[in-house]
Structure formats: structure tokens, C-alpha cells
Structure 1
Amino acid sequence: MPENPEVPDAAEPDVRTLDPRSLRGLAHPLRMRLLVTLRHHGPATASQLAERLGESSGATSYHLRQLATHGFVADDPERGKGRERWWKAADKGVMLGNALHNDPNPEVRGAVNTFIHEVASIHDQELSTWLGTMHDWPDTWAAKSDFSDFTLRLTPELLAELDGRVHDLINSYRNLAVPEDDESAAQVRIHLHAFPLKKPHTPDA
């Protein structure tokens, strides 16, 4: 999943802001899963990605080329041998520009919906995988994982302020010097969902 599907206007490190053209090039379930896989697991060939995702190599090859056309992935020449083509993610994440939600083009608004729903689906898959495998991890990881939720009364502006602060805090942990050979460390996924609840219907007096 793209790491930053939607954030305030504050800059994020190595994160690409989508425009209408690039959004339409990315908003496809397989393309998004390919990009997330390359980000999380590093460079791979179309065949390796096909095996990991349960797709045909023809499908992964086609969609990798489409991702490359829009600059989301690139060749990794250090790994390629002969006709074997390795791919790598070109950036660490993407985010939606705020204007995309109100774009007058219905194709763009449809792409926004596809993109957001696929991000939610990827988050759900990742959480389900963790729940199904958490007992395979040391007890300390199960104890430190978090499933908190909160309900606050906020204005849109306060929500944007809160979201920005949370992103700033998370980004401050990106460059901590955790040694590569530290076996107690692992990649950690942090999902952030913030949305208003539908107001309850009040019957007429």
C-alpha cells in the first residue's frame, strides 16, 4: 500500500504527491500490490512477484511496465543478469493531493475511490496476516502491538493538525540507527485511519 495514502500538505520524506495522470496510472489493485511488495520486500523480477502474489508472470510484467511508464518503478541494473529484468520501487510512498477529491473529471474521482479502497484492502490483509501469525513471533512483539482506537470531537482543521503531528512523530523514527544485524528489530507497519462518524438521525419534534 502506498505508505501515505492521504496526509495534510506538510512535506513527507521521499513521498510522491499524485496528480490526475499518475493517479490513473496507479489506481489498479494489482499495480498497487506490486508497488507495495517492492517497497516492503525489495527489488524482484516479474516472475518472483507473480509467485508471491499468486498472479501470472504475464500480468505482473504488463503492470510493472505500466508502473514504469508513470515513474513508480524502475529497473535495478545491479541485479539484472542477461534477459532477467529486476524492478525496484522509485520512491517510499505516495499521497493524494487534496484537489483530487474535487476533480471535475469523473474518471479521476473514480480513480480516487479505487485507490482509497485498495489501500483499505491492503491494510485489512496486513492486519489479518499479523493476527494469523502473531503466535509465531516472540512474546514481546505480541505484547507491544497496538489495536487502539479513539473517538474525539474535532473540526476538519483540528483533524488536519492532529494528523500532521502524528505524521511528524512517525517520520522522526525513520532514521533511527537500528543496526541491520539487530535480530530483535523488524519492519513495523503503522496504519492510521481518521474519519468522521455519521451523525445520528434526529427525529423531528
Structure 2
Amino acid sequence: MPDETAPTPRPTRRIDARTLRGLAHPLRMKIFELLTLDGPANATGLAERLGESTGTVSWHLRHLAEHGFIEEDVERGTKRERWWRRADITNELNTADFRDDPASRGAFDVYLNELLHQFFDRVTTYIQEDWDDAWRSAGTVADWLDLRLTPEQLKALNAELAAVVARHTPGPDAEPGPDALPVVVQLQSFPRKERGPKEQGHKERGSA
């Protein structure tokens, strides 16, 4: 029998070229990030945080809503000020859908570059902020450079890491502890082309 107490999974949609173009703009991605991390907001509050005019932010908010990334929070809004929140949907982007598509290549490049900037900025903010010893010792910025994996092994590694994060992700009805804070987990795992003496040795053997 299905577990009726289990949380209903968030619906998922696969981002297509049109939807990607609706998101792939530096300011829109910043707005979407703030609504995702910090919850609902209005154009005035977002404009103050981003150093933009309210009119500009309002235009980009409507654009994000048109493409289904955000929705109006009618319970918070008033006749004078509209509030917005992230739409309750998981956006899935498959890079293979855009890698060889010239029509969407520009939007795809903007999206990836801005996403990497967001990852970097989050880590930089964490490093520069003041934290007490408990939180400073709990966080980590680490890398592992001695792995040599096949594509299948790398996929398996990523799947295992994602499963670990999922086990530590509370359900929607879970009550966080009194000292709990929002936690961001960022994972970047990718192959690196070999360079240097080893690469040169391979080339020499291949040309012999």
C-alpha cells in the first residue's frame, strides 16, 4: 500500500529552448535565485537588494511569471504592491538538449555562465561573513583531485552524493531545530583534460 503520509513530490518540467530563453538573463536569474533562497518578495524589496529600479525588476518579474518560473503570491499582495514567489515546480535542464542547437546556444551559454557566477558568489559570501566557531567548523570548502573515473563511475558517484543530500533533506512538515539555518550544498564534479608531461607522453607514443 502507498504511504499516505509521504510528501507529494514536486512536479517536474523539462526546460525547452523557449523556457530557457525566458530565464537566461543575468538579472532574471538573480531575481529567481533570491525568490528561491529567501522566499516571496515584491518588486520594491528586490530592487533595493539588487540595486535596480522597481520598474526594471517588475518587468523581469512578469517575464519570469510568463515562462512559469514564478507566480504571484496573492495572499501577500495588495492592490498597490504585487508579491511574487517561486512556482512550486522542479525545473530540469538537460544540457544535451541545447549543446548542438545553434538557435538556443546563446541563451544556454548565458545561463551556464550566470549559474557559475552564482555558485562562486555564494561561496565568497560565506567566506567573507562572520560566523561563530560552531558554524565555521561545520561548513566546508573542499576538493578532491586524485580521482580517475570512467563516465559510468562519475555518474554513479554523483548519484550517491545526491542520495546522501536527499536523506538529509527534511520533508515539508518537518520542524527545524531551534538553531537551524538554511544550508546550501553545492557540488561540482566534472572531468578534466590531462595536460603536461603525461599528456605529452601519450601524444609521443601515439605518433611513434
Q: How does the TM-score come out when normalised to structure 2?
A: 0.83
Paired residues of 1:25 and 1:67 also in contact (CA < 8 A): yes
Indicate whether 1:145 and 2:142 are aligned.
no
Task: Tell me, in whole angstroms, the C-alpha distance in 2 between the residues paired with 1:27 and 1:45.
Answer: 21
Indicate whether 1:162 and 2:154 are aligned.
no
Indicate whether 1:30 and 2:27 are aligned.
yes
Indicate whether 1:54 and 2:51 are aligned.
yes
Indicate whether 1:94 and 2:91 are aligned.
yes
2:62 alignment partner in structure 1? 65
Task: Tell me, in whole angstroms, the C-alpha distance in 2 between the residues paired with 1:32 and 1:113.
Answer: 13
Task: Tell me, in whole angstroms, the C-alpha distance in 1 between the residues paired with 2:10 and 2:109.
Answer: 25
| Inter-CA distance 62–74: structure 2 relative to 1 (3 Å threshold) | same
Task: Tell me, in whole angstroms, the C-alpha distance in 2 between the residues paired with 1:60 and 1:76.
Answer: 16
Q: How does the TM-score come out when normalised to structure 1?
A: 0.84
1:5 alignment partner in structure 2? none
- Per the alignment, in what secondary structure is the counterpart of residue 148 of structure 2? coil
Cα RMSD over matched residues?
2.0
Paired residues of 1:16 and 1:91 also in contact (CA < 8 A): no
Equivalent residues in 2 for 1:1-205 (5 A)?
13=10, 16-91=13-88, 93-104=90-101, 106-133=102-129, 135=130, 137-151=131-145, 152-175=147-170, 179-180=175-176, 182-200=177-195, 201-202=199-200, 204=204
Task: Tell me, in whole angstroms, the C-alpha distance in 2 between the residues paired with 1:172 and 1:103.
Answer: 35
1:139 Cα offset (Å)? 1.0
For structure 2, list consecutive stretches of 5 or more residues without a partner in the other structure.
1-8
1:94 Cα offset (Å)? 3.0
Task: Tell me, in whole angstroms, the C-alpha distance in 2 between the residues paired with 1:161 and 1:18.
Answer: 24
Give per-residue Cα distances to partners, 1:67-98, cap 9 Å, x unaligned.
01100010000001122100000036533114
Q: Which has the larger radius of gyration?
A: 2
Q: Larger RCO: Structure 1 or Structure 2 (Cα < 8 Å, ≥ 6 residues apart)?
A: 1
- Per the alignment, in what secondary structure is the counterpart of residue 102 of structure 1? coil
Task: Tell me, in whole angstroms, the C-alpha distance in 2 between the residues paired with 1:165 and 1:129.
Answer: 28
Task: Tell me, in whole angstroms, the C-alpha distance in 2 between the residues paired with 1:50 and 1:146.
Answer: 31
Task: Tell me, in whole angstroms, the C-alpha distance in 2 between the residues paired with 1:75 and 1:28.
Answer: 20
Task: Tell me, in whole angstroms, the C-alpha distance in 2 between the residues paired with 1:47 and 1:28.
Answer: 20
Task: Tell me, in whole angstroms, the C-alpha distance in 1 between the residues paired with 2:160 and 2:88.
Answer: 22
Task: Tell me, in whole angstroms, the C-alpha distance in 2 between the residues paired with 1:197 and 1:89.
Answer: 35
For structure 1, list consecutive stretches of 5 or more residues without a partner in the other structure.
1-11
Task: Tell me, in whole angstroms, the C-alpha distance in 1 between the residues paired with 2:41 and 2:179.
Answer: 25
- Per the alignment, in what secondary structure is the counterpart of residue 164 of structure 2? helix
